[in-house]
Amino acid sequence: MTDALREKLARLARTDEEWTVTGRVLAAPEGATRESLLQALLDEIDDTVLTARLVFGYGGEGPRSGRLTVIAGGRRLRGILAATDELGADPDLLGRALDAETDADAGTVGALFDRFVAGALQAVAPITVIATPRPEGAGADLSEGGIGVRQLAAAWDLEADDPGIPDITRLLTRCGADLTASLMRNADGTETAEPDAPAEIAATLGDLVARADSGKDAAAPTLTIWLPHMGSTAPALGLARGAQGGRLAMAFAPGNLAKIQTAWVRITRKS
């Protein structure tokens, strides 16, 4: 099964998507941070393979609202079409193809998205998106060029998308809040465990890591999942092996499986 197909199945399996009159909810305000909201926006761009118009918004039509319309495709941000006045977008940025080779473009775009996220945090409002698969009219010619998601992640200082950080660390950064417990053994043998994990679960995770045969580690990263029997109250278990070595054993509610699988595919697929 290819990474693309695995991710497609994970997305189809999601049952927790929320919709409002302004679109699909990307990130709820509860517990949101600058990093978590920027990551949600980056993930949406990363998921956009075919050229599409994405309208990001927060606050609906209220006085503390904002809207940012972009063109994305090929997992790149192709251009900025429009932004509401309070975001203070540079007019020179709108309606043209973005240039990955121009540091000014990455910096200006980064600052614009930062203002958008700051507005959402101040309004305590969810961020939503409406995606139009085939843009017509303005922006239809922005199908080439653009800034890649890794470059955007670097501009926004998003640790979860830094390819220099081990896969298992990035997975824990992305999904730590979705786990009941975790035990990470790094390539150098050091361990990081969830301190408040129930003793029985902690022991199970320790067994998973200890029984994993390091001699069978491959260059390609792997994620193995064990689901409980139907009707059981036991958590699901997972073991991630990173391309750089090390393992992350996890216990989580079965309902969080799709989130973890999707995060793993995003982390391990090639840019």
Q: The dihedral of CA 94, 100, 101, 106: what is its sign?
A: positive
Q: What is the reported pLDDT for 261?
A: 94
Q: What is the reported pLDDT for 18?
A: 85
The architecture CATH gives domain 167-268: 2-Layer Sandwich (3.30)
Whether 223 shows a pLDDT value over 90: the answer reads yes
Write the DSSP assignment of 76-102 as a string of letters.
EEEEEEEE-GGG---GGGBTSB-BTT-
pLDDT tens digits for range 158-208: 765 666 789 999 999 889 888 999 999 998 889 999 878 889 999 999 999
Q: Does the pTM of the predicted model rise above 0.85?
A: no
> Which tokens go with 66?
């904002």
pLDDT tens digits for range 203-212: 999 999 988 7
pLDDT tens digits for range 97-106: 998 887 788 8
Residue that is written with structure tokens 């079965």 in the block = 254
Q: What is the reported pLDDT for 2?
A: 59
Average pLDDT over residues 142-160: 82
Average pLDDT over residues 208-221: 70
**How far is it, in rounded angstroms, from Cα 173 to Cα 159?**
8
Give the largest Cα separation in the chain, rounded. 60
264-to-9, 84, 90, 169 alpha-carbon distances in Å: 13, 34, 36, 11
Q: What is the reported pLDDT for 16?
A: 61
Which 8-state DSSP code applies to residue 253?
Answer: -
> What are the residue ranges spanned by the domains of the chain?
3-159, 167-268
Average pLDDT over residues 228-250: 93
CA 175 to chain centre: 10
Strands (E), the chain: 19-20, 23-27, 52-58, 66-73, 76-83, 127-132, 147-148, 179-185, 191-193, 222-226, 236-241, 247-252
Q: What is the reported pLDDT for 5?
A: 54
pLDDT tens digits for range 85-126: 999 999 989 999 998 887 788 889 999 999 999 999 999 999
